[in-house]
């Protein structure tokens, strides 16, 4: 069981205390909230992975840095709360140098294996984190020889205990390949499939390996999302023999208008206000996670209920027993994918009989959730215990639609709570960042969400003056992509509903002749859709030209001209957008005015570069009037 993220916790690190710690407690603290057993993280590869890019520990061939991004911090926070949590790493994209000119991580198998193993070794050396499982390439091709080389390299580094999960895609190909290839069979420890719809395939079951739904859910965290989650947590085992289900994503800590907004177990997308919401999927998780642990095993008596719904039973082998029952209706438990064939659930009475050593159990604790109408809604409520002494281990429950029951011998269950967090607020309409941080705790500036490229705090040794501390775009080649990254780099910030605004920023092109940078407003798309982002983009180039475009790709040209601009020199760009018109200034002198802009009507502010090139930004300032 449960937890997962990538490029989805971007805003979480910026939360002020105590709210940041409270959010982490709701996710990871045992017997408090979601009490997650597993944390699966992206091995940052510098590429777009749904809602943003995550930095690699090796941007370039001779570069190693184990303090970039937020995944290290997140794993440590999870371990701090639950030292037994299982850690999994999985690459989505890879830095470009591994591909030697190709958009493919299997050009040099040794090199890619070396890159992944350095991440595991670095996790231990710099953060004392033991990675338990490693994946291959998220939802993309696997290479059988690569998997074998990875296993050998892990062993040569004394990492025999790190297990391999493959292939984080469909069941079919990897299962069939394992049955035909004895060495591959030996080196793959877990078969992981994504969005299996609660079913596995015969070949996967024939391997006798552990089967996991290694990515699932990704559904809006409403009560319907909670219903989806409750249903698949049970039925992934009942129908498909999967002993672990991992939710994408852990916490919705990214701008909501990015793809798959609010598809996390809880919502924490306002670090500027401290507001967060403990959504119902957290309490659905608790029904399983608080009353089982890795190492517990399912009993043979699991199945479907006569009038819809399912039940599972697990034990620790030491006399403890947990039974989880769900009656999620079709209407209120549709996941985002795959298609869910119709089924019916209606009121019923279900009788359970405890046999063998379980017949001696005197009492079961009862935890209850009812999703749906506010008047009848309960989330993870403890009911009166069931006393079984006089009933020969038999009990009957009345079950209605959209309910969850956990019956357990464990008395440690708890519905944790804190005082309500601050009220929701819009992103501040005046926002400034001069990036003057001597020893930054995180490599990235708060609230900037990189959508192509990687923007990091930078200490400019050549400039002891005003631009000593800057924000720098640090990729000099396109990564091996997972999604359709843009051809330009871009980082977004602010309120998607911003309409009228002035953006001002100092910029520094590092590449002579061909280099270029931009500032932008009303940027209307991000994540996997970033290539097609529209907005108002104000560019200057080292060849002495400027442009105003209506899109990131630069197809829609509003204006262009010559201007005295060169590389290796600081300039101040100002972009003002008001109603249907935009104007731009260079070094506080008007450069172009009143260009008509009819679309889009609103969007984020942004900074970026013309290509994968080094460039710096400083004294970023937005004034928005909504």
pLDDT at position 310: 98
Residue range 61-89: mean pLDDT, rounded: 97
pLDDT at position 390: 84
Q: In this structure, is residue 66 part of a structural domain?
A: yes
Annotated active-site residue 462? The verdict is: no
SS3 state of residue 503 = strand
CA distance 59 to 184: 30
pLDDT tens track for 450-480: 999 999 999 999 888 999 999 999 999 999 9
pLDDT at position 2: 57
Query: What pTM value is reported for the model?
Result: 0.98
pLDDT at 207 over 80: yes
pLDDT tens track for 554-594: 999 999 999 999 999 999 999 999 999 999 999 999 999 99
| Percent of the chain's residues with pLDDT above 70 | 99
Q: In this structure, is residue 371 part of a structural domain?
A: no
pLDDT at position 466: 93
CA distance 13 to 71: 10
274 — alpha (psi -120 to 50), left (phi > 0) or beta? left
pLDDT at 1 over 60: no
Sequential DSSP letters for 306-351:
TTS-EEEEEE-SSS-EEEEEE---STT---SSS---------EEEE
pLDDT at 503 over 90: yes
pLDDT at 3 over 80: no
- Cβ within 8 Å of residue 160, ≥6 positions away: 154
CA distance 367 to 369: 7
By CB atoms closer than 10 A (0-12, 13-18, 19+), residue 501 is buried
pLDDT at 500 over 70: yes
SS3 state of residue 526 = coil
Q: In this structure, is residue 541 part of a structural domain?
A: yes
pLDDT tens track for 210-261: 999 999 999 999 999 999 999 999 999 999 999 999 999 999 999 999 999 9
pLDDT at position 373: 82
Number of other residues whose CB lies within 10 A of the CB of residue 419: 6
pLDDT at position 464: 87
pLDDT tens track for 117-142: 999 999 999 999 999 999 999 999 99
Here the CATH number for the domain that contains residue 478 is 2.60.120.560
Residue owning tokens 């609103």? 602
Annotated active-site residue 139? The verdict is: yes
CA distance 145 to 86: 26
DSSP 478: -
pLDDT at 148 over 70: yes
- Starting at the edge strand found earlier in the chain, the sheet holding 133-134 runs 38-43, 86-91, 133-134, 163-169, 190-194, 210-217, 244-248
Q: In this structure, is residue 389 part of a structural domain?
A: no
Rounded to 10 degrees, what is the CA torsion of 201, 207, 209, 214? -30
- Count of domains forming the chain: 2
- Residue tagged active-site, from 64, 139, 466, 510: 139
pLDDT at 4 over 90: no
558 alpha carbon, distance to own chain's centre: 36
Q: In this structure, is residue 249 part of a structural domain?
A: yes
* The pair of three-digit structure tokens given for residue 273, joined into one six-digit string: 């206000």
Give backbone dihedrals phi and psi of 224, rounded to 5 degrees, phi first. Answer: -65, -40
pLDDT at 6 over 70: no
In 44-189, beta strands by DSSP E: 86-91, 133-134, 163-169
pLDDT at position 374: 80
SS3 state of residue 225 = helix
Which of 240, 269, 298 is where one domain is finished? Answer: 269
* The pair of three-digit structure tokens given for residue 102, joined into one six-digit string: 């190709």
pLDDT at 276 over 90: yes
Which of 211, 239, 269 is where one domain is finished? Answer: 269
CA atoms 604, 606, 611, 612: torsion sign: negative
Q: In this structure, is residue 67 part of a structural domain?
A: yes
CA distance 610 to 553: 9
* The pair of three-digit structure tokens given for residue 595, joined into one six-digit string: 């260009």
Give backbone dihedrals phi and psi of 59, rounded to 5 degrees, phi first. Answer: -65, -35
State the residue range of the domain holding 589.
Answer: 430-625
Sequential DSSP letters for 379-416:
EEEEEEEEE-TTTTTEEEEEE-TTEEEEEES-------
* Peptide bond preceding 101 in cis form (omega within 30 of 0): no
- Residue tagged active-site, from 42, 54, 215, 326: 215
Here the CATH number for the domain that contains residue 43 is 3.20.20.80
pLDDT tens track for 42-59: 999 999 999 999 999 999
pLDDT tens track for 303-340: 999 999 999 999 999 999 999 999 999 999 999 999 99
């Amino acid at each position: 069981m449960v937890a997962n993220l990538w490029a989805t916790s971007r805003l979480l690190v910026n939360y002020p205390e105590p709210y940041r710690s409270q959010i982490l407690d709701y996710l990871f603290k045992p017997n408090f909230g979601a009490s997650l057993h597993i944390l699966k993280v992206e091995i940052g590869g510098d590429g777009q992975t749904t809602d943003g890019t995550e930095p690699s520990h090796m941007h370039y061939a001779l570069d190693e840095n184990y303090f970039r991004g937020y995944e290290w911090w997140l794993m440590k926070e999870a371990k701090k709360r639950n030292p037994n949590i299982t850690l999994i790493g999985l690459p989505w994209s890879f830095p470009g140098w591994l591909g030697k000119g190709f958009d493919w991580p299997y050009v040099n198998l040794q090199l890619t294996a070396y890159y992944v193993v350095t991440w595991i070794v670095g996790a231990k050396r710099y953060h004392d984190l033991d990675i338990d499982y490693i994946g291959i390439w998220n939802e993309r091709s696997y290479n059988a020889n690569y998997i074998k080389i990875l296993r050998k390299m892990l062993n040569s580094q004394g990492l025999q205990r790190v297990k391999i999960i493959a292939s984080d895609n469909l069941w079919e190909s990897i299962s069939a390949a394992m049955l035909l290839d004895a060495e591959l069979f030996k080196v793959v420890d877990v078969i992981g499939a994504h969005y299996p719809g609660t079913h596995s395939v015969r070949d996967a079951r024939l391997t006798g390996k552990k089967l996991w739904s290694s990515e699932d859910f990704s559904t809006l965290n409403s009560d319907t999302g909670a219903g989806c989650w409750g249903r698949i947590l049970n039925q992934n085992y009942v129908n498909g023999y999967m002993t672990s289900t991992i939710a994408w994503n852990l916490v919705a800590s990214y701008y909501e208008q990015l793809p798959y907004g609010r598809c996390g177990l809880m919502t924490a997308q306002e670090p500027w206000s401290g507001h967060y919401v403990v959504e119902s999927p957290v309490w659905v998780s608790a029904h399983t996670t608080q009353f089982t642990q890795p190492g517990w095993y399912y009993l043979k008596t699991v199945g479907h209920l006569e009038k819809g719904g399912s039940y599972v039973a697990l034990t620790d082998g030491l006399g403890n027993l947990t039974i989880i029952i769900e009656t999620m209706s079709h209407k209120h438990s549709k996941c985002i994918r795959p298609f869910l064939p119709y089924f019916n659930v209606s009121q019923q009475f279900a009788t359970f009989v405890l046999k063998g050593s379980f017949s001696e159990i005197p009492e079961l604790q009862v935890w209850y959730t009812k999703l749906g109408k506010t008047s009848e809604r309960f989330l993870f409520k403890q009911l009166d215990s069931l006393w079984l002494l006089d009933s020969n281990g038999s009990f009957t429950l009345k079950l209605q639609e959209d309910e969850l029951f956990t019956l357990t011998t464990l008395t440690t269950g708890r519905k944790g709570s804190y005082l309500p967090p601050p009220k929701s607020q819009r992103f501040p309409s005046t926002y400034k960042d001069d990036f003057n941080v001597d020893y930054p705790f995180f490599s990235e500036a708060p609230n900037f969400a990189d959508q192509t490229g990687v923007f990091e705090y930078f200490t400019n040794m050549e400039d002891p003056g005003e631009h000593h501390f800057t924000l720098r775009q640090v990729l000099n080649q396109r990564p091996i992509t997972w999604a359709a990254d843009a051809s330009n780099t871009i980082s977004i910030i602010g309120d998607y509903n911003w309409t009228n605004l002035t953006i001002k920023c100092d910029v520094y092109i590092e590449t002579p002749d061909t280099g270029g940078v931009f500032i932008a407003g009303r940027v209307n798309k991000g994540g996997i859709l970033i290539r097609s982002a529209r907005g108002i983009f104000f560019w200057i180039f080292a060849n002495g030209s400027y442009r105003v475009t209506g899109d990131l790709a630069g197809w829609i040209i509003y204006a262009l001209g010559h201007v005295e601009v060169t590389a290796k020199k600081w300039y101040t760009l100002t972009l003002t957008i008001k109603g249907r018109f935009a104007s731009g200034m260079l070094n506080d002198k008007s450069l172009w005015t009143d260009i008509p802009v009819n679309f889009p009507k609103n969007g984020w502010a942004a900074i970026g570069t013309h290509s994968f090139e080094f460039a710096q930004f400083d004294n970023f300032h937005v004034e928005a009037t909504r």
